[in-house]
Structure 1
Amino acid sequence: MCGIVGIFDTHSKNEISRQLLNGMNQTQVHRGPDEGELYTEPGIGLGHRRLSIMDVSSGQQPLFNEDGSVVVVFNGEIYNYQELAKELAELGHHFRTHCDTEVIVHGWEEWGEQCVNRFRGMFAFGLWDRNRDTLFVARDRLGIKPLYYALLANGLFIFASELKALLAHPDFVREMDARAIEDYFAYGYIPEPKTIFRHAHKLLPGHILTLQSGQQSLQPRQYWDIPFQLHGAMEEREIQDELIIRLREAVGSHLMSEVPLGAFLSGGVDSSAVVAMMGGLMKDPVNTCSISFSDPAFDESDYAQKVAERYHTCHYVDQVEQDDFDLIDKLASLYDEPFADSSAMPTYRVCALARKRVTVALSGDGGDENFAGYRRYRWHMYEEQLRSRLPIGLRKPLFGLLGYLYPKADWAPRFLRAKATFETLARDSVEGYFHSVSIMDDKMRQRLFSPSFKNSLQDYRAVEILRGYADKSPTQDPLSLIQYLDMKTYLVGDILTKVDRASMAHSLEVRVPLLDHKLVEWISGIPASLKLHNHEGKYILKKALEDYLPDDVLYRNKMGFAVPLAKWFRGELRERVRKSLLSKTLAETGIFNMNFIEEMLDQHQSGRRDYSAPLWTLLMFESFLRNTFHLEKAFSDALVFKVV
């Protein structure tokens, strides 16, 4: 696992400043503390920070082909590199190392842009071909590894593993994008391809970008998508058996390493499944890492212990106290743009624990999206049944009125909190799902934003992100559609981003076998009725694992990495959150209606409403501003909002 950076002059063959390139590269030293190297020639500069995993002695980057005309910087792992190296050697290519990076340069020589279709793994890389005068950048199919880029006004194309490296370039303009701010306060993260900055972008998962000298525009192209093509007739038992075979094969392919390797074990279904497969594949005991919480309402460590005992793992547990809120500003510096998933805090801690024992850890991320494990899927399907019985012309006025009249009841059991359900039923399927996943719904964002900021949005709404993906979806099955939407937005923008930054902050490589693209393709072909079955999420996965895991691990209620924000904001963080959100940091941006922020604080801290998620979202935005801009200056000099 590594950090990469590059500068390409699209206008001329000017020399690239090695000092500048090195400065950008050093911002990512945490991603690769073992080595750091640069390569420059007229018009191109590439940098790399290395965390040694494979071919520790000779896998340094930038890495070249035989005559030095092709050079690559690469972040990730190519799990099928040995079979590709054999094939390429038979075609006449000569290998000087035993690392997976070298198959990229030879794969490019042999197959050109199509090389990415041959790679199985997680990757982001930049490759320079002097003979073709071409820079080629690519990102893996699911977006496990990040890639940020920008085309500067002076014609320089810059790219990196993290946004902070782009910010280190003096010609990068820190001009925020109003639409990205709207997205953030809806989703809690900024979905690809946007970033918080107007001039920086994320390369979309499953996309490539080719540039040549003189090129004036950037045109990323998609090379892969989740097929959602149903398999032929198969009995349920056949699917279960095939699933275990494919799951074991995917996990096995992720075990290559020359450094200590282990797994996260939360006690949930997904991480337990990965550990169960590892236990049957590895000769030595698996190293497993868990964190426990002092509050039993959030603690899953007993379930993790059961799995660890069953598979005789070397199990390590560390307790995280519920007042672990010293990470707030640290998180802002890690993510480089606003990021409001509070589970980033325990994720950061479990990565720190794992790094004490291993350099590589396997996780269970992707299981909920693959197998419909989120509770919101179940509620969405309830709502879909009702939508199918009433046309939108009747539903919209009826449920819209009920949603307006029904009181907000955050304190009540879920079945009595009908206001959100009524509001969702008044919408079509995509808008209804957007309403269910939004941290702040449309009405709340309308109250949150100032009139001038709302004008800058030019009627843009964050739901357009989901609508754009829904229009391109390969499936119209109601459940499969929202799985597809989550894989394009929440999985990559939240889950994978969270894990990448938290792990890389500790120089830990995290692998996600449940997102092996061959496994994802096959799972997408399982009928939706076997994923969410009789209100049981992950039905087919749980049935397949009954011989491998105890029932109280498989069939208990889902917990997740919860953080007690509501309690914090009424207790230990009461004054801090008020001071931060009512200070000039937010007020002088001109973005917000400060009266509404004060109203939310008053109502939450009095116990009348639960505004913990919106307040946390604002707190992380305020922390981002303080960490990114020089706030001793007037905000009018620092912040500009434009719609792309």
Structure 2
Amino acid sequence: MCGIAGIFHAETPKPVDPARVVRMCDAIAHRGPDGAGVWTDHGVGLGHRRLSIIDLAGSPQPMHAADGRAVIVFNGEIYNFRELRRELEQAGFAFRTNGDTEVILAAWAQWGPDCLSRLDGMFAFAIFEPSTRRLFLARDRFGVKPLFLAHLSDGSIAFASELKGLLAHPLLRRRLDPRAIEAYMAWGYVPDSHSILAGVEKLPAGHFWLLEQGKAPGRPQRWWDISFTQRERGSEADLSAQLVHHLREGVRSRMVADVPLGAFLSGGVDSSGVVALMAEASASPVRTCSIGFDEAAYDETSYARQVAAKFGADHQERIVATDDFAAIDTLAAMFDEPFADASALPTWRVCQLARERVTVTLSGDGADEAFAGYRRQVFHHHEERTRAAIPAALRAPIFGALGRVWPKADWAPRPLRAKATLLALAESGEEGYARGLSVTLPGARRALYTDAFAASLEGFRAEDELIALMRSAPGRSGLDRAQYADLVFWMPGDILTKVDRTSMAVSLEAREPLLDHRLVEFAARLPEGMRVRGSTGKYLLKKSLERYLPHDILYRPKQGFVTPIAEWLRGPLADAARGIATGSLAQTGFFQPQAIAALAEAHIGARADHSRTLWQLLMLEKSLKQLGASG
């Protein structure tokens, strides 16, 4: 796992100052503390920071092909590099190293852009060919590894694994993009379709960008997409057997490393399943780690301990205080862009714990998106049946009227919290799902915005992107479209960003075996009844893991990392919540101070729960201070 950066003059090959590339790489040194390298040529500069995982003594980067035709900087891991190497050796290639980087260079020489479909792994890389003056930028299927791009005033294009790499370039303008603010206030993160800074983009997951000096840059091209249009046939037993095969392959392929390897273990279905399969494939105890909390309501360590004992894992856990809010400034610096998923705090803590013993860790991320494990997906599946049974002409007035008068009872038992469901049923499936996924709804956002900021959006509403994505999704049903949106939109922007930044902040490589693309493609072909059965999501995955895991692990309510931000903002962070209305965020002119103040007082006085919106605003304020950006 590494960090990459570079500068490319697409139209006029101006000289590249190596010192600039060095500064960009130094800004992301945490991603690769084991080595560094920079290479420049006419109009191009490539830089690399290395975290040694495979071929520890060899494979320095930037790496040149044996014939000198190409040079690469690469962030990630190619899990099938040994199989590809054998195939390429049969085609006449000779290799000087024992790692995966040189295999990518040979694959590029053999197949060009089509090499991407042969790579099984997580990656973002840049390949430059001196003879053709072409630069090839590529990102993996799911967007596990990030790649930021910037168009600079001197005509160059800069790229880096994190935004802070671009911030080290003196020509990058730090001007905020209003649409990114709107998207962040909707989702709690800045999705890959936007960047907090105008002029900065993210190469989308499953895309490549081929640039050639002397020619105007085109646009990135998609090289992979997930499809829900087909359905597997077979009995439950047959499908379960296929699923277990894919699970084993995904886990085993990601256990290859020349450094200590372990796993996150929360005690939930996904991480427990990964540990079970690791134990099956390993002759030595699996090193596992988990984070617990000093309040029982938030603590899951007993379940993690139970799984660790069952599989003889070498388990380590640490209890952290539920008042672990002092690190939020560090967290804001870690993400660069505003990021309001509060589970980032415990995720960072478990990464710190893991790094004390291992350099690579396996996680359970991706299963909820692929197998329909989120409660919102299960609800959406059943809501779509209701929509299909009742014409929209009746649904809109009936459910809309009920939803508007139904109280917003966040404190009530779950069956009584019907407001969101009623309002969702009044809308189309796509609109309802976007509503359910939003952190702060459009009306609530608009009440916070100044008129000038609202006008600067020029009619842009964040939910419309998700709605359009779902309507064009390659799928047969509402559940298909919801899962597609989660895999393509939610997961890269939230889940994978969270894991990448928190793990890389401590120089830890996190691998996601449940995002093996063959496993996810198989999951996308499962009949709906194999994904959702009654109120149970991930139905076939759980049934398939019954041979490994106890019933109370598989079928207990999903919890995940819960951070008590509502309590923080009424207690030790109450002054910080009040301060948003008079702080630097209020000075941007984007938000109405009086509206923020009213929101804070209503929450602090326990008259309403506005914790998620207040947390968004607080993290936005801290991020903008870090960025030094202006409107």
TM-score by shorter chain over 0.5: yes
2:215 partner amino acid: Q
Q: What is the CA–CA distance in structure 2 between the aligned matches of 1:123 and 1:73, rounded to whole Å?
A: 11
Q: What is the CA–CA distance in structure 1 between the aligned matches of 2:476 and 2:191, rounded to whole Å?
A: 22
Identity among equivalent positions (%) equals: 48
| Structure 1 residue aligned with 2:566 | 566
| Structure 2 residue aligned with 1:258 | 258
Say yes or no: does 1:129 pair with 2:129: yes
Q: Tell me the C-alpha RMSD between the 2 structures.
A: 1.2
Q: What is the CA–CA distance in structure 2 between the aligned matches of 1:120 and 1:599, rounded to whole Å?
A: 51
Tell me the secondary structure at the aligned position of residue 5 of structure 1.
Answer: strand
Q: What is the CA–CA distance in structure 1 between the aligned matches of 2:586 and 2:116, rounded to whole Å?
A: 47
- Shift in Å at residue 233 of structure 1? 2.3
1:208 partner amino acid: F
Tell me the secondary structure at the aligned position of residue 102 of structure 1.
Answer: helix
| Structure 2 residue aligned with 1:3 | 3
- Shift in Å at residue 231 of structure 1? 4.1
Q: What is the CA–CA distance in structure 2 between the aligned matches of 1:596 and 1:418, rounded to whole Å?
A: 27
TM-aligned CA distance change 1:378 to 1:224, over 3 Å: same
Cα distance per residue 1:255-304 (max 9 Å; x no partner): 11000000000000000000000000011110001011111111111111
| Structure 1 residue aligned with 2:478 | 478
- Shift in Å at residue 228 of structure 1? 1.9
| Structure 1 residue aligned with 2:82 | 82
| Structure 2 residue aligned with 1:635 | none
| Structure 2 residue aligned with 1:551 | 551
Cα distance per residue 1:57-91 (max 9 Å; x no partner): 01111111113230000000001101111111121
Tell me the secondary structure at the aligned position of residue 388 of structure 1.
Answer: helix
- Kindly indicate whether the alpha-carbon contact (under 8 Å) linking 2:149 and 2:203 is maintained by their aligned counterparts in 1: yes
Say yes or no: does 1:359 pair with 2:397: no
| Structure 1 residue aligned with 2:370 | 370
Q: How high is the TM-score relative to the length of structure 1? A: 0.96
| Structure 1 residue aligned with 2:71 | 71
- Kindly indicate whether the alpha-carbon contact (under 8 Å) linking 2:3 and 2:29 is maintained by their aligned counterparts in 1: yes
Aligned positions, number: 631
- Shift in Å at residue 367 of structure 1? 0.9
Q: What is the CA–CA distance in structure 2 between the aligned matches of 1:227 and 1:382, rounded to whole Å?
A: 22
Q: For structure 1, which segment, 215-224 or 368-377, has the greater mean C-alpha deviation from structure 2 after superposition?
A: 215-224
Q: What is the CA–CA distance in structure 2 between the aligned matches of 1:423 and 1:152, rounded to whole Å?
A: 45
- Shift in Å at residue 417 of structure 1? 2.1
1:66 partner amino acid: A
Q: What is the CA–CA distance in structure 2 between the aligned matches of 1:548 and 1:410, rounded to whole Å?
A: 36
2:615 partner amino acid: W
Q: What is the CA–CA distance in structure 1 between the aligned matches of 2:591 and 2:336, rounded to whole Å?
A: 21
- Shift in Å at residue 191 of structure 1? 1.1
| Structure 2 residue aligned with 1:49 | 49
Q: What is the CA–CA distance in structure 2 between the aligned matches of 1:354 and 1:233, rounded to whole Å?
A: 41
TM-aligned CA distance change 1:218 to 1:333, over 3 Å: farther
| Structure 2 residue aligned with 1:639 | 630
Q: How high is the TM-score relative to the length of structure 2? A: 0.98
**Equivalent residues in 2 for 1:308-347, closer than 5 Å:** 308-347=308-347
Q: For structure 1, which segment, 398-407 or 476-485, has the greater mean C-alpha deviation from structure 2 after superposition?
A: 398-407
Tell me the secondary structure at the aligned position of residue 563 of structure 2.
Answer: coil
Q: What is the CA–CA distance in structure 2 between the aligned matches of 1:300 and 1:584, rounded to whole Å?
A: 37
Q: What is the CA–CA distance in structure 1 between the aligned matches of 2:538 and 2:605, rounded to whole Å?
A: 39
- Shift in Å at residue 229 of structure 1? 4.1
- Kindly indicate whether the alpha-carbon contact (under 8 Å) linking 1:250 and 1:513 is maintained by their aligned counterparts in 2: yes
Q: What is the CA–CA distance in structure 1 between the aligned matches of 2:577 and 2:302, rounded to whole Å?
A: 33
Tell me the secondary structure at the aligned position of residue 7 of structure 1.
Answer: strand
| Structure 2 residue aligned with 1:188 | 188
Tell me the secondary structure at the aligned position of residue 357 of structure 1.
Answer: coil
2:360 partner amino acid: V
Q: What is the CA–CA distance in structure 2 between the aligned matches of 1:153 and 1:115, rounded to whole Å?
A: 33
- Kindly indicate whether the alpha-carbon contact (under 8 Å) linking 1:12 and 1:43 is maintained by their aligned counterparts in 2: yes
Tell me the secondary structure at the aligned position of residue 115 of structure 1.
Answer: helix
| Structure 2 residue aligned with 1:404 | 404
Tell me the secondary structure at the aligned position of residue 228 of structure 1.
Answer: coil
- Kindly indicate whether the alpha-carbon contact (under 8 Å) linking 1:411 and 1:609 is maintained by their aligned counterparts in 2: no
Question: Tell me, which stretches of 5 or more residues in structure 2 are unaligned?
Answer: none
| Structure 2 residue aligned with 1:618 | 617
Tell me the secondary structure at the aligned position of residue 290 of structure 1.
Answer: strand
Tell me the secondary structure at the aligned position of residue 567 of structure 1.
Answer: helix
| Structure 1 residue aligned with 2:599 | 600
- Kindly indicate whether the alpha-carbon contact (under 8 Å) linking 1:48 and 1:61 is maintained by their aligned counterparts in 2: yes
- Kindly indicate whether the alpha-carbon contact (under 8 Å) linking 2:293 and 2:322 is maintained by their aligned counterparts in 1: yes
Q: What is the CA–CA distance in structure 2 between the aligned matches of 1:471 and 1:95, rounded to whole Å?
A: 47
Q: What is the CA–CA distance in structure 2 between the aligned matches of 1:180 and 1:293, rounded to whole Å?
A: 34
2:285 partner amino acid: P
- Kindly indicate whether the alpha-carbon contact (under 8 Å) linking 2:128 and 2:135 is maintained by their aligned counterparts in 1: yes
Q: What is the CA–CA distance in structure 2 between the aligned matches of 1:304 and 1:401, rounded to whole Å?
A: 45
Q: What is the CA–CA distance in structure 1 between the aligned matches of 2:284 and 2:142, rounded to whole Å?
A: 31
- Kindly indicate whether the alpha-carbon contact (under 8 Å) linking 1:278 and 1:286 is maintained by their aligned counterparts in 2: yes
Cα distance per residue 1:352-408 (max 9 Å; x no partner): 000001000000000111111111112222322222222222222222222222222
- Kindly indicate whether the alpha-carbon contact (under 8 Å) linking 2:138 and 2:209 is maintained by their aligned counterparts in 1: yes
Tell me the secondary structure at the aligned position of residue 38 of structure 2.
Answer: strand
Tell me the secondary structure at the aligned position of residue 468 of structure 1.
Answer: helix
Q: What is the CA–CA distance in structure 1 between the aligned matches of 2:191 and 2:531, rounded to whole Å?
A: 26
| Structure 2 residue aligned with 1:303 | 303
Say yes or no: does 1:536 pair with 2:536: yes
